[in-house]
Amino acid sequence: MGAGERIRILFVAALLVAAGPLLGTYWVGLLTQAMIFAILAMSLDLLIGYTGLPSLGHAGLFGVAAYAVAVLTTAHHASWWMAAAGALIVGTLVSAAFGLLVSHVRDVYFLMITLALGMVLWGLSYRWIPVTGGDNGISGVPRLVGPLRAYYATFAVFVACGAAMARLVASPFGFTLRGIRENEARMKSLGFNTWLHCYVSYVISGAFASVAGIAWAYYNGFVGPTYLDLTSSSEAFLMVTLGGPGTLVGPALGAGAIVLLKNVMSAYTQRWLLILGLVYVVTIVGAPQGLWNLVAVNPPRRDSPRRRARRTLLVLFILLIPVATLVRGQTPAPIKIGFMAPLSGAYAQNGRDIMNGLLLYLAEVGYKTAGRRIEVVVEDDEAIPAVGLTKARKLIERDQVHLLAGALLSSTGYALAPYIDSVGIPMLYPVVSADDLTQRRRSQWIVRTGYSGSQPNHAFGDYAYRELKLRKVATIALDYAFGWESVGGFARTFEENGGTIVQKIWCPVSVHDFAPYLAQVSSNVDAVYALVLGRAALQFMRQYSEFGLKKRILLIGAGTTTDEHVLPSMGDEAIGAITALHYSAALGTPANERFVAAYRARYNKVPSYYAESMYTGAKWIAAAAERVHGRVEDRSALMTALREVKVADLPRGPVELDEYGNPIENVYVRRVERVNGELQNTVIATFPRVSQFWKYKPADYLKQPLYAR
């Protein structure tokens, strides 16, 4: 490393040290994240840039250490240093074991094996529910210090790891790794044990990735399966290639650029992924050696001043994108609602339905309530818990919103809850249905206006036995928390009445073909209970008919199976299916008819329960603001109002919150019929005022374990 590079590194380090007290907590948090991922990217650079081994499973090692911290601190109440030491040992041992499997292969074979091993770790985190919490992850990892101290602690770890890795690559061992990267056959002929060097490089790289995972667990307070998946490994790979492999500093720069670009751009445009992709393309075309090598202190002679100037401008363009997006006009004293939902990725349509319900109600009231204007700050949480946490911090700490609303997945809901409690800000979940969020792990700062996953299914299990006269049922459901709780609620009341669940068939969330699962359905059942949603619901319904099951076995299920977010795309194969939920667009009440007409006029489609849930949530927020006479700055008063307010004329019918913050509401049994050329969920029975505890005493109910697989 030349003197010029040292000067640049020292300059950046000095900026990081000085920036802490000058920045708000949101920016301090983003820089903390950037340094954690910089450690991960530098650890991966030991493999990619110095040894020539491209890994697509590095996030697995990062996630193993993070899970170890979470398990040791929450389940075993270990001290922070014991948890950190234990996690480092676990992460290093896993790296050592995996290294034995991968160190003898090269190039694309190394890439594929590391990808497979990473997916094995992801599968364990997803399925080893007693330890990892499955899809819900593990929340409640204690944050040891405040944001600014965490920033400087992370900076110290970042500097220590960077210095250690720099010393390593400058050692004879590091030069041997470079030799292996350039010509392994020649290094073998010189007498070097290349397998051993690659193995040690992999183990050391995994150990540093574990350090990043430990820091992330303590910073984030939540660990979930998404930290170990292919997307996370691919993002780390991009950090290295964007910054410049074989430099250490470059991957750290790439990590910072990606973290800042993602979090800043997504606040201002839903097409931020397109912009980020453009940055990748421009960088690879204009600077194939990475950002760090763009402005070389000692450029080669053939590099003309004009070319260096163009490259310098490219760096400035990429790094100034976040700054350029910060210019925004200010308006006087609005009520600021921070809204988040997945607006990109596999759950984007569900997220847009949620947002549509919010915007429809706000448009109806002219974006005003309690004499104050309403401003909505929208964020895309990508259906990733870690992203949701980052966006929540941004909304609260930088945008200074008065309350939060939104989210879709249970895992995101669980991840947000400890942070929401720590800052003490009202949060409204319109859709997140994880049972325990308003039961054993309830929060004083969270209410929901949707439902708990088992709630409508308790009623439906009773109806299936008593009214449909079913006695034997097979269940097919997506294999994650929402599926477990929905099936669990149905099975409990159905079996208590005397019915039998003959078999439970679980399908992966990413299922593309239901044939292997439908083939398992017993012929000795009266009905099949299905829980699917989105694309999976369309595929399931079509294949259920193609297998001939529709003619022989009644199809029943959870409300999402035929919800209006997918029902218009189904055909006659859906007719006759019976499901239960707290809403149907075909509900014949004046309030719902007005809502459906307004929604159709604005969005040219039928509202789903996702849309209705946030429409109701928006009315709830407005009513609470009216109750406190617009003084939403008083968070405690606003939270009390959210819990106690009564809202009339809701599309779904009467709703009130119980003492745990969950709705007591009607549950509707619906049958799919074709009316006036359209499929609809015709209401055939109503269970009034259904509680999340069904007919059980809450104290007795809460003594039972959470519904699981």
Domain chopping of the chain, boundaries: 3-230, 333-451+590-661, 455-581+665-703
How far apart CA 435 and CA 581 sit, in angstroms, is 15
User: Which pLDDT score is estimated for 327?
Assistant: 42
Place of tokens 């920033």: 151
User: Which pLDDT score is estimated for 346?
Assistant: 80
Residues of 590-599 as b/e, b for ≥16 C-beta within 10 angstroms?
eebeebbebb
User: Which pLDDT score is estimated for 136?
Assistant: 82
User: Which pLDDT score is estimated for 330?
Assistant: 41
The pLDDT tens digits of the residues spanning 487-518 come to: 999 999 999 999 999 999 999 888 889 999 99
Helical spans, DSSP H, in 289-423: 305-324, 348-364, 385-393, 410-423
User: Which pLDDT score is estimated for 133?
Assistant: 87
User: Which pLDDT score is estimated for 197?
Assistant: 96
Could you tell me if 244 and 289 are in contact, meaning their C-beta atoms sit under 8 angstroms apart?
yes
Beta pairing partners, 1: none
| Token code pair at residue 285 | 């075309």
Taken in order 532, 536, 537, 543, the sign of the CA dihedral is: negative
Query: Regarding the domain delimited by 455-581+665-703, which CATH topology (the fold level of the hierarchy) does it fall under?
Result: Rossmann fold (3.40.50)
User: Which pLDDT score is estimated for 331?
Assistant: 41
The CATH number corresponding to 333-451+590-661 among 3.40.50.2300, 3.40.50.1100, 1.10.10.60, 1.10.1040.10 equals 3.40.50.2300
Do 333-451+590-661 and 455-581+665-703 have matching folds? yes
Of 42, 84, 82, 78, the closest CA to residue 214 belongs to 84
User: Which pLDDT score is estimated for 231?
Assistant: 85
Neighbouring residues of 356: CB distance < 8 A, sequence distance ≥ 6: 599, 602, 603, 607, 611, 614
The pLDDT tens digits of the residues spanning 354-396 come to: 999 999 999 999 999 999 999 999 999 988 888 899 999 999 9
Q: Cβ-count burial of 57 within 10 angstroms (0-12 exposed, 13-18 middle, 19+ buried)?
A: buried
Stretches where the chain sits below pLDDT 50 are 296-301, 316, 322-332
User: Which pLDDT score is estimated for 270?
Assistant: 65
